[in-house]
Every structure is written in C-alpha cells, then in structure tokens.
Amino acid sequence: MEAPCRPGSGSGREPGSLGGCRAGGGRRWREAAGAWPRTRRRGLAGARQPAAGGGRDRRAGPTWFAAAEAAEAAAAAAAAGSGKLEERLYSVLCCTVCLDLPKASVYQCTNGHLMCAGCFIHLLADARLKEEQATCPNCRCEISKSLCCRNLAVEKAVSELPSECGFCLRQFPRSLLERHQKEECQDRVTQCKYKRIGCPWHGPFHELTVHEAACAHPTKTGSELMEILDGMDQSHRKEMQLYNSIFSLLSFEKIGYTEVQFRPYRTDDFITRLYYETPRFTVLNQTWVLKARVNDSERNPNLSCKRTLSFQLLLKSKVTAPLECSFLLLKGPYDDVRISPVIYHFVFTNESNETDYVPLPIIDSVECNKLLAAKNINLRLFLFQIQK
Ligand SMILES: [Zn+2]
Ligand SMILES: [Zn+2]
Ligand SMILES: [Zn+2]
Ligand SMILES: [Zn+2]
C-alpha cells in the first residue's frame, strides 16, 4: 500500500482535503491557517538587514548580489508598511483545496473558487476513479475542464507575491524565484565539474569552488579512472541499447502504427472498477484491442497518491502462423503526457492472443493524473512484426 491520502479526499467539504498527500501540505496548511506569517516576516526582516539570517557573508558572487538586491528591494518595497496586506493576499489568492499559492495555472469553479492546476486535475482524476461527477470542494458545483476557466488576474497577482527560495529560505517575488533557484542562489545544489570522471560530490553552490580545488578526481591515475569510467559506460550503454533497438525496429519490413483512444468503462463487479479499452483497430492487417487499468486494479486507487497505468494488447483476428511482435506505446499527437519508451515483445497465436498487463511507463503520478482527468486517453501504438 502506498501512503494513503486522507480518506475522502476529493469529496472533501473542507479546504485542504488534498493536503495530506502533498509534500509540505501540512506546513502550508498551518501557514495558511494563520501561523505562517511569522516565518515570512522573519525572512523579509532578514532581507533588509544584510548580516542577519543564514550566513549571508558566504555568498559573495557579484551577479548574485545585484540581482538579489534588486529582488529584495522589490520584495521589501512590496512589503513595506503593507505586511498585513500581503498576508491577507496570501489567504485570498491561495488554492482553496491545498491552501498553497498556485505555482502555475489557476482555475476557478463557476462560483469563483480558486484551484491550483495540480488540485484541479487531482479532483477530476479522483472523480473519474470513483465514477462521480467532480465537484468544487467549496460549493459542490460541478467542475470539469469545460466548466472551469483560468483566472489570469490571480495568476499574475500570485507571481508578484514574495515566495521563499527552497535552498536559502530567502524571499523573492515568485516571478524571479525560478531564475534565482536555477542560476543565482548561493545555496542551490550543484555537482562537481569532475562528475564526468566519476566524482559523486554535490552540495551548495557556495562550497563548489572549494570542493573543486580539493577534488581528488583529477589527480587519479589513468587506470583508476578507467574503472570508474567503466561503471559509467555501462549505464550509458543500457540507454543506448534502448534507442538502438528502437532504430533497428524502425527498419523492419513490416511496421505499423496508429493513434489509439482509450475510453473509460466500469467493471460490473459489486464494487465497480475503472478500466480503459480502445475500440478495435487494424495494424499490420490484423485487428487489435488495447486495455488499460489503473494501479493494477487496486481496490480503491482514489485513496492512493501513487497512480500508475498498465496495459494489455489483444489480438482479435485469427492468424495462420504465430505472429511475433514488438510493440511500444508512446505519447500521441493529441495528448501531452511524458512517457519513457519501453519495448515489449510477444508471440501471438490463436490460443495465446493477449499479452500480460505491462506497465505504461509514465514518468510519475502527476502525469498519470493528467491522463485520468481527461475524458479519453490518446496514445500512439507502434507494432513491429518480427520475421525470421
Ligand atoms: Zn491546490
Ligand atoms: Zn466552488
Ligand atoms: Zn536561494
Ligand atoms: Zn569533485
């Protein structure tokens, strides 16, 4: 069992019903409930007194200083004399489900309740799993992709509010935070430049120069390095094998691909379960069907934060000889989901005409929820017939 969400998430009548399954949800919850301004205030006060808070003296990069001072000035100006307003804005603009400030798109129900994109998609996916109409956790009105629209004013307002850098814990306007965390933060996690010859060191940026000067890797002998490089080559080789096998499959004599659309159905068990099936389709002159299931038909997938899909390929037409195939499901042109390619093999005969359920290698549960939240799942199937 994966870490369960709080039971009843999605049917939550109170804000924060999804909070239990999000990292840091608890903290945000407390913060939004009124306790958080203490940390924020401390952060802002620290920003105005350069010596205070978290060893600022270590961070001496000139570019960082210019940009950070500008950001601080903006944050300080925004907060000057209006700390209260800023705090009030946090509670006005936060997602009514997780009570966090939305990081990207903000959706609203027909009554104007705000939901961050993650929570919105999660609610739609949960409703699909429970075979219910998705509703706004605040007012219970129906929500769907067509009923809810984005709220650009809120998105822009949120991007102006200060937010905390996850590495150095200092405050920046949200719009500057990404760049700060990626390029400017002296505490951001970096890797040694000798990583390519096997140095495993990673640590805060401000320690990087000291480490690199003392790093033992450049002084290793050729034969020591050979050993390290061998290990690295092996993992690289595995990756290359996958791509090479895809390329060699592409030069097979008989290959076919098609767009497949998985549609949701319910089993007629006592407790119905969601599964997906495509209409019949023809590839390589044979008729096929694909089926998919959520969390390998776990009893209550809506109670788990982990979301996976597995699928099965079924041959529906009769064959005169065994049909050996490689197959591969990838993102199609109509759905945006990140799948890492995996090639599966199977020999289809009239007696054994369906594969086992194999994982659909979606990169994570968030991506999987995106698929579940949609009406249908659109992917592209490649089939390669192996002729001996
Ligand atoms: Zn949310
Ligand atoms: Zn509502
Ligand atoms: Zn930082
Ligand atoms: Zn190193």
Q: Are residues 12 and 91 in the same domain?
A: no
Q: Which ligand is closest in space to the CA of residue 108? A: 2
Query: What is the structure's pLDDT at 325?
Result: 94
For ligand 2, an ion, list residues with CB under 5 A: 109, 111, 113, 136, 138-139
367: in domain? yes
What CATH number is associated with residue 316? 2.60.210
Cα–Cα dist 164/108, whole Å: 25
What CATH number is associated with residue 132? 3.30.40.10
Question: Which of 162, 178, 196 delimits the end of a domain?
Answer: 162
Q: Which ligand is closest in space to the CA of residue 121? A: 1
CA–centroid distance for 219 within its chain: 40
Higher pLDDT, 42 or 119: 119
CA–centroid distance, 343 to ligand 2, in Å, is 44
Q: Are residues 37 and 91 in the same domain?
A: no
Residue 386 token pair: 């192996």
77: in domain? no
For ligand 4, an ion, list residues with CB under 5 A: 192, 194, 199, 201, 215
27: in domain? yes
Which domain covers residue 322, as residue numbers?
254-385
CA–centroid distance, 210 to ligand 1, in Å, is 41
Residue 97 token pair: 């489900």
3-state helix, strand, coil in the chain (%, to 5): 40, 25, 40
Q: Are residues 26 and 133 in the same domain?
A: no
DSSP state of 198: T
Q: Which ligand is closest in space to the CA of residue 134? A: 2
| Nearest-10 Cα torsion for 91, 96, 101, 106 | -130
340: in domain? yes
Query: What is the structure's pLDDT at 367?
Result: 86
231: in domain? no
CA–centroid distance, 211 to ligand 4, in Å, is 6
Query: What is the structure's pLDDT at 83?
Result: 59
Q: Are residues 11 and 99 in the same domain?
A: no
142: in domain? yes
Q: Which ligand is closest in space to the CA of residue 93? A: 1
Q: Are residues 143 and 30 in the same domain?
A: no
Ramachandran region, residue 34 (left: φ > 0; alpha: ψ -120 to 50; beta: rest): left
Q: Are residues 258 and 381 in the same domain?
A: yes
Position 43 confidence tier, pLDDT thresholds 50, 70, 90: very low
CA–centroid distance, 342 to ligand 4, in Å, is 34
Q: Are residues 14 and 136 in the same domain?
A: no
Question: What is the amino acid identity at position 356?
Answer: D
Query: What is the structure's pLDDT at 217?
Result: 92
CA–centroid distance, 198 to ligand 4, in Å, is 8
Of 255, 69, 17, the residue nearest 7 (C-alpha): 17
Of 123, 83, 101, 79, the residue nearest 32 (C-alpha): 101
Q: Are residues 270 and 357 in the same domain?
A: yes
Q: Which ligand is closest in space to the CA of residue 209? A: 4
Instruction: Give the tens place of pLDDT for each residue, 155-211.
Output: 999 888 888 888 999 988 888 888 999 999 999 999 999 998 889 999 999 999 999
39: in domain? yes
Residue 300 token pair: 């209550």
Indicate whether 239 pLDDT > 90: no
Give whole-number Cα distances, 57 to 45, 54, 74, 186, 209, in Å. Answer: 17, 9, 21, 11, 16
Give whole-number Cα distances, 233 to 167, 216, 241, 244, 266, in Å. Answer: 32, 21, 12, 16, 47
Question: Which of 140, 162, 184 delimits the end of a domain?
Answer: 162
CA–centroid distance, 258 to ligand 4, in Å, is 48
Q: Are residues 37 and 94 in the same domain?
A: no
61: in domain? no
Instruction: Give the tens place of pLDDT for each residue, 148-170.
Output: 999 999 999 988 888 888 899 99
Indicate whether 78 pLDDT > 70: no
Indicate whether 17 pLDDT > 50: no
Query: What is the structure's pLDDT at 12?
Result: 36
β-strand partners of 266:
274
Instruction: Give the tens place of pLDDT for each residue, 104-145.
Output: 899 999 999 999 988 898 899 888 888 889 999 999 999 999
Q: Are residues 40 and 108 in the same domain?
A: no
> Are 71 and 173 spatial neighbours (Cβ–Cβ below 8 Å)?
yes
Cα–Cα dist 313/258, whole Å: 13
Buried-exposed string 181-204: b where 16+ CB fall within 10 A, e elsewhere: beebbbbbebebebeebbbebeeb
Provide the whole-model pTM.
0.61
- The rounded mean pLDDT for the chain is 79
Q: Which ligand is closest in space to the CA of residue 188? A: 3
Long-range contacts formed by 117-122: CB under 8 A, 24+ apart: 118/22, 118/366, 119/18, 119/95, 120/148, 121/366, 121/369, 121/370, 121/373, 122/10, 122/18, 122/97, 122/369, 122/373
> Are 44 and 343 spatial neighbours (Cβ–Cβ below 8 Å)?
no
Position 62 confidence tier, pLDDT thresholds 50, 70, 90: very low
Q: Which ligand is closest in space to the CA of residue 24? A: 1
Q: Are residues 264 and 380 in the same domain?
A: yes
Q: Are residues 273 and 375 in the same domain?
A: yes
Q: Which ligand is closest in space to the CA of residue 199? A: 4
Indicate whether 21 pLDDT > 80: no
Question: Which of 135, 162, 189 delimits the end of a domain?
Answer: 162
Cα–Cα dist 47/214, whole Å: 33
If you average pLDDT over residues 293-311, what whole number do you get?
84
Tell me how many domains the chain contains.
3
Share of the chain above pLDDT 70, in %: 79
Cβ partners under 8 Å of residue 20, min gap 6? 5, 6, 9, 26
Higher pLDDT, 52 or 143: 143
